[in-house]
Structure formats: structure tokens, C-alpha cells
Amino acid sequence: MNIQCPNCETIFDLPEQVSSNKKYKCSVCNHIWIEKTYEHKALSPNGSEKSDLNKIIILNITIFLLVIIVFVFFRNYLEDIDSNWKSLYLFFDMLIPIQ
């Protein structure tokens, strides 16, 4: 556990402690202060963070599917625009042979 003197800002490395509101004396400036320690709980997403994560995942999946649909419906138009699109579609046709 690291604590810092509020007077001279020296940082001290102490072993873990369970007591809170303990008095400390700085060995550098002799300042005495009460350090309030708090128990840190493991970070776990609460309900709102979980729902935000679910919304982000659903949004990403939706955007991905829309992009795939656009590539399928506008294939002819994209192939006419540039030869690179045509090569890309030929590559995918080789991967997924549909007869």
C-alpha cells in the first residue's frame, strides 16, 4: 500500500493493512496526519454498464449486417466502379462457391 505525506508529498510503501483512519508520521518532515483507507471492491459492471455494453454489441452487429447487405445488393454497381471491387467479389466467390 502506498501512502503520501500531505505536507512534503513523500510516498511511502507500506504493507497491506485492514484498519482505517490510522495515524502516520512522516520521517522526512515529521508531519502527522490521519490516512483514511478505503476497501476497494473488485470492479464488476453494474446494471447500467451491462446494458450499455449490450447496446454497443447490438449496434456493432447491426452495422456489420447492414454493410454486408449493402455489399450484396450493390454488387453490380461496385464492380462497375473499379476493378478492385471486381477482384474482391471474385475472391469471395472462390471462397464460397454457390451453384
Q: What is the pTM of this model?
A: 0.43
How far is the C-alpha of 47 from the C-alpha of 37, rounded, in Å? 27
Number of domains, the chain:
2
Domain assignment present for 71: yes
If one compares 37 and 32, the residue with the highest pLDDT of the two is 32
If one compares 1 and 62, the residue with the highest pLDDT of the two is 62
Exposed, middle or buried by CB within 10 Å (0-12, 13-18, 19+), for 90?
A: exposed
Write out the residue range of the structural domain in which residue 61 sits: 47-95
Q: For 47-78, how does the pLDDT look when each residue is reduced to its tens digit (9 = 90+)?
A: 667 788 889 999 999 999 999 999 889 888 88
Average pLDDT score over residue span 11-16: 77
| 57/82 same-domain check | yes
| 31/54 same-domain check | no
Domain assignment present for 59: yes
Domain assignment present for 40: no
Give the closest residue to 92 by CA, choosing from 59, 60, 68.
Answer: 68
| 88/56 same-domain check | yes
Whether residue 92 is predicted with pLDDT greater than 90 in this model: the reply is: no
